[in-house]
Amino acid sequence: MTLRKIIPWETKGFTLIELLVTIGILAVLATVVVLVLNPAELFRQARDSRRLQDLGSINGAINLYLAFSSNPDLDGTQSNCNAAGGLGSAACTCSLVFWASAPNAEEQFAAVPVWAYVTPSTNAAVNGTGWIPMEFSTLIEFGGSPLSSLPVDPTNSVAGTARNELVYKYRCNNAGGVVEYELNANMESVKYSGVEVDDGGSYTDVYEIGNKLNI
């Protein structure tokens, strides 16, 4: 009978130096990933992308409303607008106020210094009580409103000055029978900053879309 000598496997762990080197490499790689990808900028880009989609959807809904409503009304029937901050009882009109997706928004343009106050519970409503006062729900032949609810800015914050508030804004002009409107938003990211310059509007630091971009 042949006897075989069994040699046990020798296991060897990482030395302290090897562990430190590995941790150092991982730390460097993590730093590189953060610097290259910049998660904060990616989040800003995602919010900006949504802003463009939201205002595009609203703009499309307004165009549909203006084209097919039997009696289009840009400023609706809201009546809480005879005082600073929209806390009065007068009718809200295009010449008197602007509308915003969050309360206490500042006016970007001095011509219309007062914002219309919208009750938070109806802020996203499409029946004329929301932050856009048009009654989209009157489009009966299309099965009702093209929007189930009014989008609001993903941040919806009025912090900062009027030009960098992260809210959506709507203003209109119906003087002399004209039908003009403008929607605004502010971009956060470097990637989307160019859309504020190239939108054809009056200002290069605000995104403007609508059928009249200098209201």
Of residues 79 and 56, which shows the higher confidence score? 56
- Mean of all residue pLDDT scores within the chain: 84
Residue at token pair 């189930």: 148
Rounded-to-integer distance, Cα 46 and Cα 33, Å: 18
Whole-angstrom CA distances from 158 to 2, 68, 104, 146, 215 are 88, 34, 7, 28, 21
Tokens of 165: 């508030």
Per-residue model confidence as pLDDT tens digits over 120-146: 889 999 999 999 999 998 887 777 788
Contact present, 133 and 117 (Cβ < 8 Å) = no
- Residue 2 has a pLDDT of 57
Rounded-to-integer distance, Cα 202 and Cα 148, Å: 31
> Domain spans of the chain?
43-210
- Which backbone phi and psi does 171 adopt, to 5 degrees? -140, 160
